[in-house]
Amino acid sequence: MGLRYDHVNNIFIYDEKMSGLMPNLMWHLTSECNLHCSFCFSKSGSQRKRIRIEDFKYYIKIFKNLGVQKVDISGGEPLLFDNLDLLCSLLSESKIFATITTSAFADDSQLEWLINNEKRFSRIILSLDAPYEDMHDSIRGQKGCFKKLLSLAKQLVLVSDRVRINTVCTDAISDKDTLNDFFSIITSMSLREWCLIQPLISNGMKDVFDTVVSIIDQMDITKVKIITRPNNIYSEYWVLEEDGMMFQRNQENNKYNIFSENQLQDLYKALRTDKGDENDGTEH
Ligand code: SF4
């Protein structure tokens, strides 16, 4: 039995007719990013490492062989990737769904492209980590992030009901007043989903995920769907980096180069061995 992607609800459900080895994949198109988040687990930076246009069709072929139904496009900052339009067309032609996660720190033309192409994504995920400008900009390491993100969110909700806010749970937001203010921002923009993420704890960061979730649980929330992402869920995600290396998040020392036939065969073998471990009804 395999998993089938329900793109409306953005969940995977068991389906005995499905047999794909890797229904879902997080794809880092580029390592380029203008921000400096302390909790960043991608190899982001100003260095322009990105997938090559001449490899697009090869990637799609591998995805079809693996049974990928949905890719979560991320980075770095994916809107900085020049050929996103072409890539989205190829994914769509191949009947592979996509979500995109952005911090909105991109040029106006790139943000405009996203607004005009929102229908290409089953979810547009905006990274907002605090309800206050100074706090969010400080967490993301760049002034102006908050204003850009809120401006994009306001424009997107006018044309799409598939906008989600992702929030990395840090000490800065772990009190009731701040979370109440955060919730007010989400409801004032009529956003339908709010996802709380437990960061990989490093550099002396305090783990406040359970505290944040328990405060949110006690709040009177009706019109916004709350999604929680503890480490143990996303640590099992499969990731494809811009250099063609594929790995499961919790096994970063065990990478497969999809441009190597031998390593691809090893990947298929490992996936066939693991098959059947997926959860049903899981939001991604
Ligand atoms: S926006 Fe994303 S890729 Fe860029 S530094 Fe922050 S977490 Fe890393």
Q: Of the residues 47, 103, 169, 242, which should be mutated to test ligand 1's pocket, given the most ligand atoms within 8 Å of the CB?
A: 103
Would you list the domain boundaries of the chain?
A: 22-275
* β-pair partners for 15: 2
Q: What is the predicted pLDDT for the residue at 202? A: 67
Instruction: Please tell me which residue, 278 or 40, carries the higher pLDDT value.
Output: 40
Residue 282 has pLDDT above 50, yes or no: no
pTM of the model: 0.93
Compute the distance from residue 21 Cα to the ligand 1 centre, in Å: 29
Compute the distance from residue 54 Cα to the ligand 1 centre, in Å: 26
CA–CA distance from 105 to each of 7, 162, 240, 268 (Å)? 26, 20, 22, 37
* Percent of the chain scoring above 70 in pLDDT: 93
Range with lowest mean pLDDT among 42-46, 127-131, 158-162, 229-233: 42-46
Class of domain 22-275: alpha beta
- pLDDT 10s digits, 88-114: 999 999 999 999 999 999 999 999 999
Minimum CA distance residue for ligand 1 atom 3: 76
Using CB distances shorter than 6 Å, the residues near ligand 1 are 33, 35-37, 40, 42, 44, 75-77, 103
Compute the distance from residue 102 Cα to the ligand 1 centre, in Å: 9
User: Is the preceding omega at residue 76 within 30 degrees of 0, hence cis?
Assistant: yes
Cα–Cα dist 58/64, whole Å: 10
Closest atom of ligand 1 to 101 CA is 2
What would the two tokens of residue 231 be?
A: 């480490």
For 172, residues 6+ apart whose C-beta sits below 8 A from its C-beta are 129, 130, 135, 139, 178
- pLDDT 10s digits, 147-167: 999 999 999 999 999 999 999
Residue with tokens 């099992």: 236
Minimum CA distance residue for ligand 1 atom 6: 37
